Amino acid sequence: MTKNPKTAQTARTATATPSDPRRWAVLAICCVAAALLGIDTSVLNYAIPSLVTDLKPSGTEILWIADVYGFALGALLVVMGNLGDRIGRKKLLLMGAGAFGVASVLTAYATSPEMLIGARALLGVAGATIMPSTLSIVRNVFTDPRERTTAVGISGGVAAGSFALGPVVGGALLDHFWWGSVFLINVPILLALIIAGMIVLPESRNPAPGRLDWISVPLSIVGLLGVIFAIKTAARDGVHESSVWIAAAVGVVCLIAFARRQTRIDAPLLDVKLFRNPAFAGSISANLVAIFASASLSLAFSLYFQVVRGWSPLMAGLALLPGPLSAAFAAPLSSALVPVIGRAKVVALGLGLMSVSMVGLGLVTPDSSYWLLLPALIVNGVGIVLTFTVTSDTVLASVPKERAGGAAAISETAMELGGALGVAILGSVLTSVYRSGLDLPAGLPADAAEAARESVGGAVGPGAQLQGPVGRQVAETASEAFTHSMHVTTLAGAVLIAVAAVAALYTLRGVPAVIDEPADAESEAPGDAEGPGAAADGAGELVAR
């Protein structure tokens, strides 16, 4: 293959840049920060029964306690990623870690539902500063393309494993301590992270960020908050609620105005030209579809293990742990495969493994042996890490280092939206199929029948209103209906992910296995010069595969 002279020159310049000698210590700090966010995202669900007994929140307050963290996090990611590019990623990460520690203490010792909601909102704000900062710091420290892929893979594997650690850590702490302990445990870890970060982390920022557009900031926040609120509310209460349509309308209008404004100002908060880059757009799309299709999987199996099988929260968490653990151990595999078969095929392979595993998991019955589920959980974890390692690395590598925070924020925001949509839509499918397949015996009391139709927890286990032979019959019927709804939902998710796997072969075709530094700060797309699959001068050398 004949190399373009400009491309070769760019590659020589990029690879000549010495890597930071502290880079692996930097990676360790960023992994710890990302792991804390993953644990905190999943641990609250296990603390809710205890805190409800203690604080006695209303039904509406319980919903806000559960949702406000995600609202604040998702709405602020774009703004915080851009802010880190401007003031410095290290500075923003350490400030966010300090705020996260303070919010963790406030959450742990909250004395009222209102105080707890406010503390959880502050946790979301702090999380929005940490999440894009970790990825952008890794992007700036690892200048060698192959090392960068490995580093992103390790970071992604740790992040994946941390989501499953939430139930395990939460279950273990709640067996011995009060509900606030699941948040208080963050504090010593964050103190160590801040001290190590001050010593080890290098500072990086965009040297010429331009003037911050203060009109874009509220448009971004209100737009994302409106859309996320509408999605989550629709998933919980249905689309008939007027608040859903009002929030959706406000959110969409603000996001349209925001996007139009970004094309007209000199220093946009979000560079929409990035989406002309097939590597960037293809990776974001693959992430969104994968998260959308698999978002309901954790919810479904949490209910399956705890309600249908009657396992404790700790046992349910341990049962799901092999998937994320396999992701953590398989993380280095992605960097080894990319030079051999290319980015498009690795992403397609990862999505394909996720699809196959979801078909296997969808075959579950009320009495399935756990050992039959274990291989599918492991394969799913491997597929997740292959997919998200390569897509995350591609997103970060496709833009100049100066814009790494903004790029990471876009990626994380897409995943937040994909997850919210997945829970809303596929979660609704799960509930709808369960209710339609529920064949209750005649003559049940109205309140017992209504509880059983509302959720499988209302028909099975401690939440069931009926005991004795009739209660067992209702429980068996509900368990069968719920596992059938899991079959339909997981199969639908598997089909969507399989389509995404095929699409990835097209959207990411021709994206270099090794993406060197873009030639200039304009972040020209790899495919702009020659069409959707071609690698242009600034993308780096196309490694034969």
Q: Is the pLDDT of residue 405 over 90?
A: no
Tokens of 142: 């690892």
Question: Using one digit for the tens of pLDDT, what is the confidence trace for 302-346?
Answer: 778 878 888 877 787 788 888 878 877 777 787 788 888 888 899
Question: Using one digit for the tens of pLDDT, what is the confidence trace for 34-87?
Answer: 888 878 777 776 777 778 778 888 766 777 887 788 788 888 888 888 888 888
Question: Using one digit for the tens of pLDDT, what is the confidence trace for 117-176?
Answer: 899 999 989 988 988 888 888 888 887 777 777 887 777 777 767 776 777 777 778 778
Query: HEC states along 488-527?
Result: HHHHHHHHHHHHHHHHHHHHCCCCCCCCCCCCCCCCCCCC
Q: Is the pLDDT of residue 494 over 80?
A: yes
Provide the mean pLDDT of the chain. 78
Q: Which amino acid is at 527?
A: G
Fold of 273-418+430-437+487-545: Growth Hormone; Chain: A; (1.20.1250)
Question: Which region among 102-106, 375-379, 536-540 has the lowest average model confidence (pLDDT)?
Answer: 536-540
């993380």: which residue's tokens? 331
The yes-or-no answer to whether 18-209 and 273-418+430-437+487-545 have a common fold is: yes
Using 50, 70 and 90 to split pLDDT, how confident is the model at 102? very high
| pLDDT greater at residue 448 or residue 250 | 250
Nearest CA among 456, 422, 472, 477 for reference residue 305: 456
Mean pLDDT along residues 191-207? 87
Percent of the chain with pLDDT over 90: 12
Note the pLDDT of residue 88: 85
Note the pLDDT of residue 535: 32
Tokens of 419: 């997850």
Using 50, 70 and 90 to split pLDDT, how confident is the model at 465? low
Tokens of 297: 């999987």
- H/E stretch holding 267 reads none
Q: Is the pLDDT of residue 99 over 90?
A: yes
Q: Is the pLDDT of residue 264 over 70?
A: yes
Tokens of 349: 């392979």
Note the pLDDT of residue 194: 93
Pick left, alpha or beta for residue 441 (phi over 0 → left; psi -120 to 50 → alpha; otherwise beta): beta
Q: Is the pLDDT of residue 449 over 90?
A: no
Using 50, 70 and 90 to split pLDDT, how confident is the model at 545? very low
């396992």: which residue's tokens? 311
Tell me 545's DSSP state. Answer: -
Question: Using one digit for the tens of pLDDT, what is the confidence trace for 281-302?
Answer: 888 888 888 888 877 777 788 7
Residues 158, 538: Cα–Cα separation, whole Å = 31
- Domain ranges in the chain are 18-209, 273-418+430-437+487-545
Model-level pTM? 0.76
Residue pair 528/536 in contact by the 8 Å Cβ criterion: yes
Note the pLDDT of residue 462: 57
Residue pair 221/75 in contact by the 8 Å Cβ criterion: yes
CATH number 3.30.470.20 given to 18-209: no
Note the pLDDT of residue 424: 75
